[in-house]
Amino acid sequence: MSGPTDPQANNATGAASETGTGVDHAHVRPLLEDDGSRDGPAILTWMVGLLLVPAGVLLALGLRGAADSRDPRIPDLIAEHLPETGVSNPVTGVLLNFRGYDTLLEVAVLVAAMVAVWSLDRGQRVFGLPAGRARDEPVLAAVLRLAVPTAFLTAVYLTWLGSSEPAGAFQAGALLAGAGVLLTVARVMRPPTAAALPVRIIAAGGVAGFVVVGIAVLPFTGAFLAYPEGWAYPLILGLEAALAVAVAVILVELFVDVPSIPAPDSTLDTVDPTGDPLGRALAPDATPPDPGAP
Amino acid sequence: MTPLDLYAWAGVAVFLLALHAVVTRAHLIWKVLGINLMGTGVFLILLAAPARRDPLVADPLPQGMVLTGIVVAVAATALALGMALRVMSRTGSPFLTVDPESADPDPDAPEPPS
Amino acid sequence: MTEPLTVGFVLDGLVALLLVGLVFRLLRTRHLFEAIMLYVAYGLTLALAWVRLGAPDIALAEAALGAGVTGALFLNAWHRMAVRAGADERLPMESDP
């Protein structure tokens, strides 16, 4: 395994011999190691700490009052009306029925964050990472073979379980995203950035599903997102499934679309030379076209 | 002093420590860490502070709100990290105020105002 | 009013102390990688706290989202900075053939 022709051994020794050569560590050191020289004078640090003492006292006083200010009837109300939500897990009932608006806007925030992170690189990149081969590392391959199918199965189970036990779409989506990130960093999967249409459709699917369901129930119940009797359980389950997939895709995109830091003398080699598939790509230094120009 | 109080106090301490770091540390990544940790301190207070009939079963309403908060905090952290990395790619420095002596000779750097 | 000193109370005290200690350490350290590792440890300890507070839904979300996904986001940022700083040339993400 560790013969002289082993490519991994060569890699390792090559990397080891490169370490400490040619890199200006003093120059880039603060990126990874903050020596505190830019933090301002120590007296300022202590003064801010001193200022936070009265803030802490105020918070403590507020905490004492908080116990009395909460309406004690709310848990009873939730427990009383839980059968109407179609689910038996009170947290899922709160998230997808009582406070459905909250969850709708929460997913909208996720979509907005995905688009915002993607746009930080001026939307130039089509793929977050260059094409790579799956690393031929036996341990990594074995972990992937075990972990990824397990994560997928567990995510489906968590989505379904969310109606009755502590679980739900967001936990399942996070688990799916974990599997996706694992596949991405192992170079098995090469996820496109948020520029790709399928990514956008799936990511928007969570919000769209909520809005469609919310409007579809209007003629029956007369209120946005008020599920008709008997339909709450299937509707919530369907929404949870769409949410889990959307959350997973968005979280992977948040990981993939984060801008990289090019070296001063290099260009981003992940810029697609043919431009944005949507035809709206900007050359790295081009100014945006004036929409009002003839 | 009940177990709930313990976690509420821990939440206050986490919030204040993180706020201190956000104000005093210049490194952008630590600022992002600090803002994220301030959020978790608020979550601890939100869930541990209210009166409960049964201390073993939490209120579903604040639970739902904290769950929403955790998901939004992830999105906000990702956006803040992306912006911090963008600053580093433009200036080569993890600080907002660039020290002219150690600044990168970045050809992509914004032109000085004329 | 003083609570009898039960095993559960001592456990809660230890978890609460650990939370504050981890935060103090990760905000004071000068090494970014150490801070990120402490952040993941803090997230998992917080999941423990949620279980003790009777909120298993949040414990699950915290372990998966707070510690897992956020930790991965910070590590991703660290990696990009490390490639830039030349400290981790073995895994260049931007210039692989």
How would DSSP label each residue in A149-197?
HHHHHHHHHHHHHTTTSS--HHHHHHHHHHHHHHHHHTTS---B-TTSH
Cβ–Cβ below 8 Å for A269 and C95:
yes
Is C8 close to B74, i.e. CB distance below 8 A?
A: no
How close C90 gets to chain B, by Cα (Å)?
Answer: 20
pLDDT at A278 (0 to 100): 36
Question: Cα(A216)–Cα(A40) distance, rounded to whole angstroms?
Answer: 58
Report ipTM (2 d.p.). Answer: 0.85
Per the structure, the count of domains in chain A is 1
Q: How far is the C-alpha of A111 from the C-alpha of A109, rounded, in Å? A: 5
Interface contact A259-B89, CB threshold 8 A: yes
Residues whose CB is less than 8 angstroms from the CB of residue C5 and which lie 6 or more positions away in sequence, other chains included: none
> From CA A111, how far away is CA C57, in angstroms rounded?
23
pLDDT of residue A123: 64
CA dist C74 and C36 (Å) reads 7
Measured between CA atoms, the residue of chain A closest to residue B96 is A38
C-alpha to C-alpha distance for B68 and B73, rounded to whole angstroms: 9
pLDDT at B51: 54
pLDDT band at B91 (very low <50, low <70, confident <90, very high): confident
pLDDT single digits (tens) C37-61: 999 999 999 999 999 888 899 999 9
Assess if CATH 1.10.287.3510 describes domain B3-91: yes
> Are the C-beta atoms of residues B68 and A102 closer than 8 Å to each other?
yes
Ranges of chain A whose pLDDT falls below 70: 1-29, 66-70, 122-136, 262-294
C-contacting chains (≥3 CB pairs under 8 Å): A, B
B99 touching A (Cβ < 8 Å): yes
Q: Is B10 left (phi over 0), alpha (psi -120 to 50) or beta?
A: alpha
Q: What is the largest CA-CA distance in chain C?
A: 68
What rounded mean pLDDT belongs to chain C? 84
Shortest alpha-carbon distance between residue B96 and chain C (Å)? 16
Residues of A in contact with C96 (CB under 8 A): 130, 132
What's the farthest any 2 CA atoms get from each other in chain B? 66
Query: Structure tokens of B82?
Result: 């992306």
List the Cα angle B25/B26/B30 in 5-degree steps.
60
Cβ–Cβ < 8 Å for A100, A214? yes
HSE-up of residue A66 (Cα within 13 Å, Cβ side): 16
Top mean pLDDT of A290-294, B48-52, C4-8 is at C4-8
C86 vs A28: CB contact, 8 Å cut-off?
Answer: yes
pLDDT > 90 fraction of chain B, expressed in percent and rounded:
47
pLDDT of residue C66 exceeding 60, the answer is yes
Contact at 8 Å (CB) between C15 and C52?
yes
Which pLDDT belongs to residue B110? Answer: 55
Domain interval for residue A246: 82-256
CB contact at 8 A, A189 and A48: no
Report DSSP letters for C10-66, one per residue: HHHHHHHHHHHHHHHHHHH-SBHHHHHHHHHHHHHHHHHHHHHTT-HHHHHHIIIII
**B23 interface with C at CB cutoff 8 Å:** no
Q: Does B42 touch chain C (CB under 8 A)?
A: no
Chain A contact for C20, CB < 8 A?
no
Mean pLDDT across chain A: 77
> Nearest CA of chain C to the CA of B9: how many Å?
8
A117 in Cβ contact with B79 (< 8 Å): yes
Any idea where the domains of chain C sit in the sequence? 7-85
Q: Cα dihedral angle (A143, A144, A145, A150), rounded to 10 degrees?
A: 90
d(CA A130, CA A95): 39
Distance (Å) from the C-alpha of residue C49 to the closest C-alpha of chain A? 16
> What confidence tens digit (pLDDT) does each residue in B98-113 have?
555 554 555 455 555 5
Residues of chain C with C-beta less than 8 angstroms from the C-beta of B33? 26-27, 35, 39, 74
Half-sphere exposure of B41 (CA within 13 A, CB side): 24
Q: Output DSSP code: residue A222.
A: S
Distance CA C34, CA C36 (A): 5
* Closest CA of chain C from B113, distance in Å: 27
Give the residue on C whose Cα is nearest the Cα of B22. Answer: C27
- Please report the pLDDT score of residue A86 as a whole number: 85
Minimal Cα–Cα distance from B112 to chain C, Å?
A: 24
Look at the alpha carbons of A163, A169, A171, A173 in this order and tell me if their dihedral is positive or negative.
Answer: positive
The full set of domain ranges for chain B reads: 3-91
B1 — contact with chain A (CB < 8 Å)?
no
**Residues within 8 A of A (CB atoms), C 32-51 only:** 32-33
Is the per-residue pLDDT at C91 higher than 50?
Answer: no
Nearest CA in chain B to C12: B3
Contact C54 B7 (CB under 8 A): no
Question: Across chain B, what does the average pLDDT equal?
Answer: 82
Residues of B in contact with A81 (CB under 8 A): none
The pLDDT of residue A202 is: 94
Contacts of C26 (CB under 8 A, 6+ apart): B33, C34, C35, C38, C39, C42
DSSP line for chain B: --HHHHHHHHHHHHHHHHHHHHHH---HHHHHHHHHHHHHHHHHHHHHSS--SSTTS--HHHHHHHHHHHHHHHHHHHHHHHHHHHHHHHHS-SSSSPPTTT----TTSPPPP-
Three-state DSSP class for C81? helix
Q: CA A98 to CA A96: how far, in whole Å?
A: 6
